[in-house]
Structure 1
């Protein structure tokens, strides 16, 4: 059981690291900050609730069951952080958000103080690491402390359920998916964790033994519920970025033929090659370097060659755009060959802009790079006419 709890804490912690990967920006964003706070507190709850942690805390403090108010106080702080996150997620005027946040913090601050006071008044000298809630369910002050932390956590989860149901009708896309995951996690927490705890405690009050609900069923249900809520909170924030990075990786790879052709003439600073560089950062460096190389190759452009290849492509039935790309690819390959051989540039015939330099983003460069890739050979090994060297016109 401890392994499951520690694993949930680790996944929680890694989620917060992903959100907090840019600390300066995160510190200026209340939503990111509150999300990270809620996730970190959730991870700490799992760490504190694990029996080995409880035993260590009790031993270090010399107070039997000292880990109980620590865990319950941490759980109350997590419940408060969830409400603060919902408030920041909902948004509104700064004054309104601040007022609601202060109310939530004040209410749960009083709750944490009450938990500590009740524990100090209770007689709980027998250490219980896994069944404290049911063992002390009928003990004065401990009984009230246990009910108080459960009620505080239930209030936060029920508010979360109500908010998710309401907002789910107003939004769509990833935000709605995230709200559904949060709602599923909150409902699982209410039914699998809280209801199991309440049932086991009431059973003790009536002289029955349903401790397994509290000791065996509730912990894994709480772990799963917290992970679902965490996924719901971070999915709308991380998935768009992950998609952008995936597209950047695809463009970075598709630019390889063009970069391989012009990299020798690029004078741009060499891009960093560390494994920590994200695909979009790598793509940006490659894009800048290619544009620099295109400027260096511009004097070697043979526009008569470009016009011949374009006319040939048009006669083969290609569209004007495809013919232009094929012609520019042939001209660029010829320019790279001339520059590598240190030949004299051809006579200038006027200014010309490549299609890749007329469009924003990497789309134009990707098209040019793909135009450099030869199509599969025709049956029998023959080279398709469109790839053959354009013939010089015969002079009569």
Structure 2
């Protein structure tokens, strides 16, 4: 059981690490910071609740069941962090947000203090690692401590449900999806974990034994609920940049034909590329290097090649844009060949601005790279005389 709980804590905590990949930026962002704190505390709750951890804490302190107030206090801190996260996520005037955050911290700080005091007053000399809630359900002060931590956690989850339902009507897209996941997690926590705990404890009060609800059903329900809540908090924050990195990786690969053609003439300084470097960082360097190479090859542009390929493409029924890309790809291939052979620039060379340099972003370069990829494998056209009058080159 402890291994399963530790694995849950690891998965739960990894999302916090992903959000905190840039600590300096995250610390200045209350939303990111509160998200990381809430998820990290949730992971710590898992760690503290594991029987192996409880036994180690009890042995280390020499106090039977000392792990109980530690776990319950950590769970209360997690409940508070969830409320703080919701407050920061909802936003509003800074003073109002700050006031609500301080009130939440004060309320749950008092709850944690009460848990510690009640445990100190109780007589709980028999160590219980898995069934403490039901075993001490009728013990003075322990009974109140158990009920207090359950009520505090229930309050936070119910508030979360209300906020998710209300706010879910006002937002769309990933934020709504995240809120629905959080709502599912909160409902599963209320119905699967808390209701099972309440039922088992109340059954003990009435002389019945439904301990399996507390020891067998509640723990996995709590784990699943926490993971759903973590996914809901993290999804709207991580999915957009993750998709951007995925698109960056795709563009980086689609630029391969163009980069293979011009990399020998690029003079851009090559940075140290590590395996963990993000795709968008790699893409940015490749884009800069390609633009540098295009400037180097510009004197070798032969407009007769471009015009002939353009006219041929138009005659074949291709659109003006497709014809221009095919013509520029052929002209660039010819220029790269001339530069590699150290030939003199052609007589028709002039200032010409490629479509890829007219548009912002990587889209133009990707289109040029794909036009190069679609070129026939045959050698590039030579600078034979044009069949029509050459048009006036575009001025940069």
Q: Per the shorter chain, which TM-score range?
A: over 0.9
| TM-score (ref. length: structure 2) | 0.95
> Does residue 53 of structure 2 align to residue 53 of structure 1?
yes
Q: CA deviation at 1:5?
A: 1.2
Q: Which residue of 1 aligns with 2:88?
A: 88
Does the CA contact (< 8 Å) of 2:302 and 2:383 recur in 1? no
Q: Which residue of 1 aligns with 2:307?
A: 307
In the TM superposition, 1:1-396 aligns within 5 A as 1-347=1-347, 349-374=349-374, 392=385
Q: Deviations over 1:338-388 (max 9, x none)?
A: 1111111112554210000000000000000001013689xxxxx8xx987
Q: CA deviation at 1:393?
A: 6.0
What is the rounded CA distance, in whole Å, between the counterparts of 1:197 and 1:4 in structure 2?
20
What are structure 1's unaligned runs of at least 5 residues? 378-382
What is the rounded CA distance, in whole Å, between the counterparts of 2:105 and 2:330 in structure 1?
67
Does the CA contact (< 8 Å) of 1:12 and 1:39 recur in 2? yes
What is the rounded CA distance, in whole Å, between the counterparts of 1:130 and 1:199 in structure 2?
16
What are structure 2's unaligned runs of at least 5 residues? 388-396
What is the rounded CA distance, in whole Å, between the counterparts of 1:159 and 1:48 in structure 2?
25
Does the CA contact (< 8 Å) of 1:271 and 1:286 recur in 2? no
Change (3 A) 1:116 1:393: closer
Count of matched residue positions in the alignment of Structure 1 and Structure 2: 387
Q: CA deviation at 1:271?
A: 3.8
What is the rounded CA distance, in whole Å, between the counterparts of 2:307 and 2:65 in structure 1?
85
Does the CA contact (< 8 Å) of 2:137 and 2:143 recur in 1? yes
Q: CA deviation at 1:9?
A: 0.4
Does the CA contact (< 8 Å) of 1:196 and 1:213 recur in 2? yes
Q: CA deviation at 1:269?
A: 1.3
Does the CA contact (< 8 Å) of 2:192 and 2:217 recur in 1? yes
Q: CA deviation at 1:12?
A: 1.1
What is the rounded CA distance, in whole Å, between the counterparts of 2:380 and 2:188 in structure 1?
63
Q: Which residue of 1 aligns with 2:391?
A: none
Change (3 A) 1:262 1:375: closer
What is the rounded CA distance, in whole Å, between the counterparts of 1:376 and 1:200 in structure 2?
75
Q: Deviations over 1:120-164 (max 9, x none)?
A: 000000000000000000000000000000000000000000000
Say what the alpha-carbon RMSD is for the aligned residues.
Answer: 1.6
What is the rounded CA distance, in whole Å, between the counterparts of 2:321 and 2:248 in structure 1?
24
Q: CA deviation at 1:309?
A: 1.3
Q: Which residue of 2 aligns with 1:380?
A: none
2:373 aligns to what SS in structure 1? Answer: coil
Q: Deviations over 1:88-138 (max 9, x none)?
A: 000001100000000000000000000000000000000000000000000
Does the CA contact (< 8 Å) of 1:194 and 1:218 recur in 2? yes
What is the rounded CA distance, in whole Å, between the counterparts of 1:248 and 1:37 in structure 2?
30
What is the rounded CA distance, in whole Å, between the counterparts of 2:168 and 2:187 in structure 1?
15
